[in-house]
Amino acid sequence: MAFNMYHASVPVFIRCLRNLSGFLAKAHDNALTRKIDFSVLMNARLAPDMLPLSRQIQIATDMVKNGAARLAGAEMPSFPDTETTYEELQARIAKTVEFLETFKEPQFAGSEDRSIVLKFPTREMSFSGAEYLTGFVLPNLYFHTTTTYAILRHNGAPLGKMDFMGG
């Protein structure tokens, strides 16, 4: 069976974001029960030189919306990174899932060989579509989702492996 770029990306992205939304909700409920202002968690970090929880979620959502768009040859929507509340983060996740749900499998035909070039201020990265998905988008998605999970877990949210893995 050939590697299917659509099935290796969009459904995986959606499931991961839904899991992210679920453990964010569980942490929010726990914070309310413990009478902890959720803004404390929004700014929490695992280490002083790491980005805060809110930025971890922004990057995870940017990674998949831009990844899917690049692979499908579609326009990438721009989301301003202005979320400061639990509700705004959940809305960003939902908006990203809605965007991902607009993609159809035929849009990804041949995308494994599509040339993808990312330009950063200090360097440029070039990938085939398959390399971009498996070596850049998915690792970044899992890194930022895992970091979000770890920040919440470290701050007392009652999360376990199945929260991360999802149903």
pLDDT in tens, 90-99: 999 999 999 9
The domain that holds 85 is classified in CATH as 1.20.120.450
List the one residue out of 140, 115, 147 whose CA is nearest residue 130: 115
**Angle, alpha carbons 54-59-60 (nearest 5°):** 100
List the structure tokens of 93.
């996740």
Cβ neighbours of residue 114 closer than 8 Å, sequence gap 6 or more = 70, 71, 73, 128, 129
What integer pLDDT is reported at residue 139 of this predicted model?
A: 98
For residue 43, pLDDT beyond 60:
yes
Q: What is the pLDDT of residues 58-98, one digit of tens each?
A: 999 999 999 999 999 999 999 999 998 999 999 999 999 99
> CA–CA separation, 135 vs 98, rounded Å?
25
Rounded mean pLDDT, 26-41: 95
Rounded mean pLDDT, 144-159: 96
For residue 1, pLDDT beyond 60:
no
Helices 53-72, 138-154: axis angle to 10 degrees equals 160
Q: Kindly report the number of other CB atoms within 10 A of residue 100's CB atom.
A: 20
Domain count for the chain: 1
Q: Kindly report the number of other CB atoms within 10 A of residue 67's CB atom.
A: 24
Q: Which domain holds residue 25?
A: 5-165
For residue 42, pLDDT beyond 60:
yes
List the structure tokens of 105.
């499998």
Q: Name the band, by pLDDT with cuts 50, 70 and 90, for residue 166.
A: confident
List the structure tokens of 118.
């990312």
